Structure 1
């Protein structure tokens, strides 16, 4: 999937965050209830600290919010970041595969994808770049998302199972793959 220069910056930031957090991510993967909220908070903090570097902005101009009502209905976006005083904003819907949501992961990704492609944005966010991002870690999750032609992959770790083996021997760990789509 080709994209804009900003796509490379946004997805690059997410990939950097994954690389820097791969061991905690692998450990969080096993927790019941998933690790998506953990990922949202940690990614928000990473964006707050590093997005300005990629975009050539001042750090104090970076804004990052979670659970923002960007849609005309009651749906909320997982993350919104941008730079004041510009109106440059980025909306991210994030899905994270966990040990306990593997059987529904593909369906949840499709729900976020549909929200991104079909959701009616509020006027304030009409010019925002809106992304659906999914992070899969199991062979099953990777195979499921590989069937979705609209999703592009940008990062695939080669972290092997021995690191996961310290946490849980039965994990179907296949590395970490970041998938993404941007609304046109």
Structure 2
């Protein structure tokens, strides 16, 4: 796996340019052209016979970092096995964590339960509002879904509904331009057949190890 150099500003895995999360890509160990308008980092892993592409995203990296913290992973394992679900807890804890790691320089502001959708009272779970260099703002909005032992039977339906919500959504002007994300924490269900932004949901290349439970994180986004 070829890694991004922390010494080259054009290869930083996290930063903010033009309001979107900065990304760069590496091919066979050499940096490719910086892509300031893209939220995805692509890493190429090659061998004598195969080549694979790993999509690495700076926000998803922070989400997995939070979830795999020893204390949080223990809580996730217990929450998964409790009746009633754990999505509300994730909203609070993850929003506070992202505020700390992304908003420390006064660039990114984390807000929960905002009326992003125009024409109805639907709210997003949380959003990251980033100030551009020219003073304008860009919004990354998130919908979360968390499978638990008690809701596994309806988890796919809930993920599908959020995908539809994002696909059909029109954002209130105060949040434009906006990119909407779905992030689904899953143990037993595959949701790759659902689509957001013209692409099927992808299973992130890292997993969450919550005690004896291994959890996948599915994601997709639409600008």
TM-score range, shorter chain: 0.7 to 0.9
Please give the alpha-carbon distance, in whole angstroms, between the structure 2 residues aligned to 1:92 and 1:105.
17
SS of the equivalent of 1:60 reads coil
- Larger RCO, structure (CA 8 Å, separation 6 or more): 1
Please give the alpha-carbon distance, in whole angstroms, between the structure 2 residues aligned to 1:40 and 1:26.
16
User: C-alpha deviations, 1:96-148, integer Å up to 9, x for none?
Assistant: 111111000000001111111111111122311110110102x3x2xx31443
Greater than 2 Å deviation, 4+ residue runs = 3-7, 58-62, 83-86, 146-149, 155-160
In terms of fraction of residues, the more helix-rich structure is: 1
SS of the equivalent of 2:84 reads coil
User: What TM-score does the superposition give when structure 2 sets the normalisation length?
Assistant: 0.66
User: What TM-score does the superposition give when structure 1 sets the normalisation length?
Assistant: 0.78
Question: Is 1:74 matched with 2:124?
Answer: no
Look at both structures and tell me which one has the larger radius of gyration over its CA atoms. Answer: 2
Partner of 1:103: 153
In terms of fraction of residues, the more strand-rich structure is: 2
1:74-153 to structure 2, matched below 5 A, reads 74-84=121-131, 85-137=135-187, 139=188, 141=189, 144-148=190-194, 150-153=200-203
Moved more, 7-16 or 34-43: 7-16
Moved more, 109-118 or 84-93: 84-93
> Which ranges of structure 1 fall in alignment gaps of 5 or more residues?
53-57, 165-172
Structure 1 residues 63 and 183 mapped into 2: Cα distance closer, same or farther (>3 Å)? same
Partner of 1:64: 110
Aligned-pair RMSD on alpha carbons? 2.2
Question: Is 1:44 matched with 2:98?
Answer: no
